[in-house]
Chain A
Amino acid sequence: EVQLKQSGAAVKKPGESLKISCKVSGYRFTDYWIGWVRQVPGKGLEWVGIFYPDDSDTRYIPSFQGRVTMSADKSIDTAYLEWSGLKASDTAIYYCARHNYGGDYKWFDSWGQGTLVTVSS
């Protein structure tokens, strides 16, 4: 069974650093892109970026470029999303999702449960 398990909620102050994780199981980690999605409470879904664990190919949504860093540790099948200087506007739920594929098709079929990040002074 494919599973993506995310790290727990985090409460940080503005300017602090944070790294949240997404540990996968049930499939070969390096064969699939991982996407990160942000959702401000009560609002819609928006992409942060996508990451390919095999070669660390990374693509960021322009509004997040330079604000976050996606990475992975292949030895423990875990993807990360990291901030070096949090802002109150980073307060949101962050989801990771696997980008599955087959033939001509691709789809985000499996999602983590989400990590709530709260940034407040």
Chain B
Amino acid sequence: AIQMTQSPSSLSASVGDRVTFTCRASQNIRSDLAWFRQQPGRAPTLLIYAASILQIGVPSRFSGNGSGTDFTLTINSLQPEDFATYYCLQDYSFPYSFGQGTKLEMK
């Protein structure tokens, strides 16, 4: 099974900051990588799929990059609603797998 490793596990930042998260796959997953944001008490919401395609309705401050085994999610100009937990997901091959999450906290 493909293992997904996210870093850091937590991060402190302020409104207006720019932050970048990393996700690494244990083997080549091409660009079959998605990013989700999960706010407390809510279902995950899709931000990015195919590593870099912005989901319809997601603000342009979110961007994704990478292919193969190394991927990044960048958020420009953090907004209050962005303080949440972020997960990457590989759906290259079953069993699909999530990373363990990165919790973004307000400084």
Contact = CB atoms under 8 A, between A and B. Distances in A.
A104 B32 CA distance: 10
A67 B53 CA distance: 36
Contact of B98 (A46, A59, A106, A109): A46
B103 to A, nearest CB: 10
Given A107-B34, A107-B50, A47 B96 contact: yes
A78 to B, nearest CB: 18
A98 to B, nearest CB: 10
B46 interface: yes
Given A45-B87, A108-B46, A62 B34 contact: no
B89 interface: yes
Contacts of A105: 49-50, 53
Given A105-B53, A109-B46, 9 more contacts: A37-B44, A45-B44, A61-B95, A62-B95, A104-B50, A106-B32, A107-B55, A108-B91, A112-B43
Contacts of B50: 104-105, 107
A106 B44 contact: no
Interface string A82-121: 0000000000000100010000111111011110000000
B91 A106 contact: yes
16 contacts: A37-B44, A45-B38, A45-B44, A47-B95, A47-B97, A59-B95, A61-B95, A62-B95, A99-B91, A105-B53, A106-B91, A108-B91, A109-B46, A111-B45, A112-B43, A114-B43
A35 interface: yes
Interface of B: 32, 34, 36, 38, 43-46, 49-50, 53, 55, 87, 89, 91, 94-101
A26 interface: no
A50 interface: yes
Contacts of A45: 36, 38, 44, 87, 89, 98, 101
A44 interface: yes
Contact of B101 (A44, A59, A95, A107): A44
Contacts of B87: 44-45
Of B96, B98, B99, B100, the most chain A CB neighbours within 10 A belong to B96
